[in-house]
Structure 1
Amino acid sequence: MKRSITRLLMAPSVILLLVWMIVPLSMTVYFSTIRYNLLYPGENNFVGLMNFEFFMTDPGFMPAVLNTLTLLVSVLVITVTLGVALSALIDKPFFGRNIVRVLLISPFFIMPTVNALIWKNMMMNPVYGVFAWISESLGFEPIDWLSSFPLGSVIIMVSWQWLPFAVLVLVTALQSQDTEQKEAAEMDGATSWDIFRYLTIPHLARPIAVVVMIETIFLLAVFAEIFVSTGGGPGYDSTNIAYLIYNQALLQYDVGVASAGGLFAVVLANIVAFFLIRAVGKNLTA
């Protein structure tokens, strides 16, 4: 009886959630199978898998896939590596530690568009940016980062914003580390590096897995930084899957091909999530 009442009370929320998920997905599947170009509103005939063929044979498809995976892996390596190092440093007591923690976490609360504008105009501008000033001070020619290293510039922007998230999670995890083990290791003659390698790193295995999984979900859909800073260029040098879908939908007005690209992105995200969940599951059960 209690179970029936519980299920009855949960039913509206579950139904609403299913409708919230299924309706947009069903519309995307439908649009991906018809010729739906906003420039030709009267021609909505069924085309089957032709939209998928058009999307995957687009000149920007393979560069977009490679750029998406490169961006994902690069940002994960940077944020996890620096996150572990910074969290270990600020875990030790020192004067002004609370202020340093706030400063390290602050970039995570900046909107992606503002983040891109800051890096584009204040840091990487080849005329009056901070990097240009440093290069001129050292006697070097300033670099136009967004033109010479477009994908690298986007990676720097995204890493700067997601590094605080990794630091926040890992610092919180370090608060629960057993200090008695560290003290016993020091008494046995273990160096700081030994403690970090054999005690701290294993303790952070699960938090690192969580950071990787959560960041991956958002990094596969990076868009604002690319849109504001490089516009996917030069050429397709900084175009990822999300920006390619935007290009098909709002620049070429081809909703059908863009819907096919959206489904491809869903499949790609699920493949990546499948392997990540398995990796996280192994860490959680270890």
Structure 2
Amino acid sequence: MPSSAALGVAPTANAPARRPARRSLSTLPFLAPSVIVLLLWMIVPLAMTLHFSFIRYNLLNPALGGFAGWSNYEFLLTDPALWTALANTLLLVGWVLVITVGLGTLLAVLFDQDFPGRGIARLLVIAPFFVMPTVSALIWKNLMMHPINGVMAFVSRSLGFTPVDWFAEFPLTSVIIIVAWQWLPFALLILLTAIQSLDHEQREAARMDGAGPVSMFVFIILPHLGRAIGVVVMIETIFLLTVFAEILVTTSGGPGLATTNLAFLIYMRALLEFDVGGASAGGVIAIVLANIVAFFLVRAIARNLAT
């Protein structure tokens, strides 16, 4: 009897067409090397930091060693320099976030408008983000804020005012200005991209309903930028907790401890006082602080994305 295919009849439901069998391949052998390297890259430095934080290890006196217990942590937690460094760290992070998010939002709204030379203006305002921290710190220290030859001193003398020695009179403010100048282009890029994704029909509908520029900004643009602002805050906070080059080049943590943050305090303990054990204890405290901040930021952003 001829088959149904030979007669040109489609197979019935009782005789389904055969499908080629697929082999199930496990992806574990392919992922394992990358996962192992990543874990080693993370765990080995953390384990060594924890190890050194519980021993006496001073580079100037190698004979002084042994298990120290919690003495490194006790000494660090009772040292007023730690709390000054933590306060400076929080002030630095907080003010840089306020400046970059505030000015970044206003500049993003401005650069979203159509005006002559907008492309060149965007390029110039984004350029500081590609300058290395050490170079930008040197530029601000020697060209902008120098009390004699700096641009700010020249402007002050031209207006009849006495030039300000920024790094002596306002050291932490000077560092905040430098770091904010570096991170403002990053915030601008993220926020400008978010504004450009706003539906133009929604804007036109608001304009037709009589919404002015202020109402448009408060009730349409700002709510739309909520998630982008959360991303900017999270990424900047993680990096701003480790600001180091700007402080080393400009003030070296001084005068006194006026500009010493947690990262610079760890550097002082390890490479200036040669106390590897105390510096490792400070590193563990910095890791705990960074993870606490990241935990709350990630939860806040995840809640914002879910709404």
* TM-score (norm. length: structure 1): 0.98
Q: Give the letter aligned to residue 194 of structure 1.
A: S
Q: Tell me what 1:218 maps to.
A: 239
Q: Tell me what 1:41 maps to.
A: 62
Counterpart-to-counterpart distance in 1, 2:235 and 2:253: 24
1:42, distance to aligned residue in structure 2 (A)? 2.1
Counterpart secondary structure, 2:26: helix
Deviations 1:48-99 (A, max 9, x none): 1111112222231111000000000000000000000000001011100000
Counterpart-to-counterpart distance in 1, 2:139 and 2:80: 31
1:175 aligns with 2:196: yes
Q: Tell me what 1:81 maps to.
A: 102
1:71 aligns with 2:92: yes
Q: Give the letter aligned to residue 241 of structure 1.
A: L
Q: Give the letter aligned to residue 158 of structure 1.
A: V
Counterpart-to-counterpart distance in 2, 1:282 and 1:68: 26
Q: Tell me what 2:136 maps to.
A: 115
Deviations 1:152-176 (A, max 9, x none): 0000000000000000111111111
- CA RMSD after TM alignment: 1.1
1:2, distance to aligned residue in structure 2 (A)? 7.0
Q: Tell me what 2:301 maps to.
A: 280
Identity of aligned residues (%): 61
Q: Tell me what 1:147 maps to.
A: 168
Q: Give the letter aligned to residue 274 of structure 1.
A: F
Q: 2:183 aligns with which of 159, 162, 170?
A: 162
Q: Comparing 188-197 with 77-86, which one deviates more in the overlay? A: 188-197
Q: State the 4+ residue runs in structure 1 displaced beyond 4 angstroms.
A: 1-4
Counterpart-to-counterpart distance in 2, 1:204 and 1:254: 46
Q: Give the letter aligned to residue 38 of structure 1.
A: L
Q: Tell me what 1:250 maps to.
A: 271
Counterpart-to-counterpart distance in 1, 2:249 and 2:78: 26
Q: Give the letter aligned to residue 271 of structure 1.
A: I
Q: Measured at CA, do residues 248 and 4 of structure 1 come closer, stay the same or move farther in structure 2, by a change above 3 Å?
A: farther
Q: 2:215 aligns with which of 194, 211, 227?
A: 194
1:233 aligns with 2:282: no
Counterpart-to-counterpart distance in 2, 1:211 and 1:30: 34
1:4, distance to aligned residue in structure 2 (A)? 6.1
Counterpart secondary structure, 1:277: helix
Q: Which has the larger radius of gyration?
A: 2
Counterpart-to-counterpart distance in 2, 1:222 and 1:18: 25
Could you tell me which runs of 5 or more consecutive residues in structure 1 were left unpaired when the two chains were aligned: none
Q: Comparing 235-244 with 269-278, which one deviates more in the overlay? A: 269-278
Counterpart-to-counterpart distance in 2, 1:89 and 1:270: 35
Q: Give the letter aligned to residue 211 of structure 2.
A: A
Counterpart-to-counterpart distance in 2, 1:227 and 1:283: 37
Counterpart-to-counterpart distance in 1, 2:158 and 2:106: 30
1:3, distance to aligned residue in structure 2 (A)? 7.0
Q: Give the letter aligned to residue 116 of structure 2.
A: F
Q: 2:79 aligns with which of 58, 64, 83?
A: 58
* TM-score (norm. length: structure 2): 0.91
Q: Give the letter aligned to residue 166 of structure 1.
A: A
- Corresponding residue pairs, total: 286
Counterpart secondary structure, 2:98: helix
Q: 1:134 aligns with which of 144, 151, 155?
A: 155
Counterpart-to-counterpart distance in 2, 1:108 and 1:57: 38
Counterpart secondary structure, 2:135: helix
Q: Tell me what 1:104 maps to.
A: 125
Counterpart secondary structure, 1:5: coil
Deviations 1:129-157 (A, max 9, x none): 01111111111111100010000000000
Q: Measured at CA, do residues 141 and 183 of structure 1 come closer, stay the same or move farther in structure 2, by a change above 3 Å?
A: same
Q: Comparing 230-239 with 40-49, which one deviates more in the overlay? A: 40-49
Q: Give the letter aligned to residue 163 of structure 2.
A: P
Q: Tell me what 1:5 maps to.
A: 26
